[in-house]
Amino acid sequence: MIVECPHCHKKIEWSSTNRFRPFCSERCKKIDLGAWAEESYVITSTSPEPDEFPDEIRDAPH
């Protein structure tokens, strides 16, 4: 199967012989890791408001 490197978009074969998959190289892999470390990527989530918690969680001792 041919896929694109998530960083540079180079076409690569998805294979167990590619030790950097899904990236094309160690360089692209490290650039991506660095972006996560610098918090350039964010997984957003909405936290429930306290009144949206079930009673047993809201009323539990802290």
Residues ≥6 apart with Cβ < 8 Å to 5: 12, 22, 23, 24, 25, 28
DSSP lists the bridge partners of residue 12 as 3
3-state secondary structure at position 2: strand
> Would you say 37 and 28 are in contact if contact means Cβ atoms under 8 Å apart?
no
What is the residue whose two structure tokens read 């996560």? 36
Segments forming the whole domain that contains residue 3: 1-62
Answer yes or no: is pLDDT of 59 > 80.
no
Report how many domains make up the chain: 1
Quick: pLDDT tens for 5-35.
999 999 999 999 999 999 999 999 999 999 9
CATH number at residue 12: 3.30.50.10
Answer yes or no: is pLDDT of 58 > 60.
no
- What pLDDT score was predicted for residue 23? 96
Answer yes or no: is pLDDT of 57 > 80.
no
